[in-house]
Structure 1
Amino acid sequence: MPASTAPATDWLDDFYNADSDQLWVTADQGSRFAKEIAGDHNPLHDAESSRFCVPGDLLFALIVRRYGLARHFALSFRGMLRAGTRLSFPSQPAQAFTIADENDRDTVEVQYDRPVTTDPAALLVLIEAYVASSGETFPDRLGPLLAEAGVMFNPQRPFLVYDGMALDIQRAPGTDVRVTPADASLAVNGKRADVQFDYRIADGDGALGEASKRMVVSGLRPYDAEAMTAVIAAYHARRAR
């Protein structure tokens, strides 16, 4: 059984649609979540983009809200999820399960080990705290990693996608959860780079656990400081709109 039951109404209700065990996200909902909740201004999350994909952080939020927390909770995304794609959520989650789309294609692989009964209000606080930290990967954390590795993405067609995440907690959280950045690493493999960002999780009672986020950066080319400066300036301008 799920480890917690979400309240009938909460702020996440604005960012998805549901019909029985099926759920879907419109481009407008996904874009607003990325910008308003996660602070993520990746062009792939612009509602009008032909390459639009549903933010991975929104999928994380909806899965955790549906099933609750576990001592070990991990997601692996199987490609980019397009707007309006209906997802089927299993009614009884196992230790490992998948979420499939309307054509029975697996979109998310989930590991859900040792459920933790959690107060619904605390659950939403943890979701929001994690998403807010996760959305701050570019340029503050990713930029220095790219510069150190001597590579960058195509500034005319940036492609940075969320590959997966893991969350490990020791106990149920309180309603004062804090998620703070920890280590970060980048490994170049040809024209792509695999990136991992780590986080520490705590509340008023002390250390609670840790999390990690995996991303893929594609279309790598030699680092160009002038071009990257322009990309970062354009990104900040998008944030200020």
Structure 2
Amino acid sequence: MLLTPFYTTKDNLISVSATQASDFAKLQCFDFNPIHDPDNKRFCVPGDLLFSLALHTYGVSESMSFTFTNMVGADMALNFPETDENSIVITNAQGKSVLEIERKGKINRDSHFVESLIKNYGQFSGQNFPTLLMPLMKEHDVMFNPNRPLVMYNSMSFEFESVDFEQSMRLELADSTLEVEPKRANSYLHFDIFDGDKLSGKGIKKLVIAGLKPYDEEVITEFVKGYEARRDAF
């Protein structure tokens, strides 16, 4: 199974070590956000991994939405409840919500289909920075603090016309926007899901960029160079 190396199960609870989380971000999403580095003081498990674990557990419904309600730290025990309900809450060992899911419609639990969505979405999601966010930040004359970069996964949703695919799955960016508030910005990444060449679904991912500063071409360019150097070295 695609996800087997990236989580541990004990007493019906799932946990993710810092190394497992970091490896998933880098290997499956090509995501080098410092917040997923094991030694980062603000380390958190990637939302893409929690999303993937949810699909692995519950399958892919025709309509699903995911809202990340709290950050998940290393080795935090998580409860993915067995349920047939359309509203699902993933909690930590203390019962605090970390991910809330709404779903409806037909469910496809075929492992190949589920893994295809996990892989394709992970590759799409990994384009967040610098490919997708840099042009948006430049356009709106804002950026995150390169000394304390904080780009957080807030939510995502998708809808399929059908979860019975005849050909290979493909995700493509459809549109991207940035809404700037006084101290943060919300980025919306819209994507299309194809069954071969047929448009079969649409989705949207929301990111929150915290600690906004005025855009500085020289400073952010140096940050990007360092980011890409880390990626290339890996």
* TM range, smaller chain: over 0.9
Q: TM-score, normalised by structure 2?
A: 0.96
Matches within 5 A, 1:188-227: 188-204=180-196, 206-227=198-219
User: How far apart are the structure 2 equivalents of 1:22 and 1:220?
Assistant: 37
User: Are 1:95 and 2:86 counterparts?
Assistant: yes
Aligned partner of 1:114 in structure 2 is 105
User: How far apart are the structure 1 equivalents of 2:111 and 2:197?
Assistant: 18
Aligned partner of 1:183 in structure 2 is 175
Q: Deviations over 1:72-131 (max 9, x none)?
A: 111100121101111111101411121110011011111111132342212111110111
Identity percentage of aligned residues: 36
User: How far apart are the structure 2 equivalents of 1:240 and 1:108?
Assistant: 32
Deviation at 1:22, TM superposition (A): 1.2
Gaps of 5+ in 1: 1-9
Q: TM-score, normalised by structure 1?
A: 0.93
Matches within 5 A, 1:1-241: 10-172=1-163, 173-174=165-166, 176-204=168-196, 206-241=198-233
Gaps of 5+ in 2: none
User: How far apart are the structure 1 equivalents of 2:85 and 2:229?
Assistant: 44
Deviation at 1:175, TM superposition (A): 5.8
Conserved in 2, the CA contact under 8 Å of 1:21 and 1:90? no
Conserved in 1, the CA contact under 8 Å of 2:70 and 2:97? no
Amino acid aligned to 1:78: T
Conserved in 1, the CA contact under 8 Å of 2:174 and 2:192? yes
Aligned-pair RMSD on alpha carbons? 1.2
Conserved in 1, the CA contact under 8 Å of 2:79 and 2:91? yes
Pick which of 134-143 and 168-177 moved more: 168-177
User: How far apart are the structure 2 equivalents of 1:19 and 1:167?
Assistant: 31
User: How far apart are the structure 2 equivalents of 1:226 and 1:117?
Assistant: 48
Amino acid aligned to 1:69: V
Deviation at 1:205, TM superposition (A): 6.2
Deviation at 1:48, TM superposition (A): 1.5
Q: Deviations over 1:24-59 (max 9, x none)?
A: 100000000000100100000111212110000001
Q: Deviations over 1:134-179 (max 9, x none)?
A: 1111011100100111111101110001001101111123461101
User: How far apart are the structure 2 equivalents of 1:61 and 1:229?
Assistant: 32
Conserved in 2, the CA contact under 8 Å of 1:38 and 1:131? yes
User: How far apart are the structure 1 equivalents of 2:231 and 2:104?
Assistant: 37
Conserved in 2, the CA contact under 8 Å of 1:179 and 1:199? yes
User: How far apart are the structure 1 equivalents of 2:48 and 2:201?
Assistant: 18
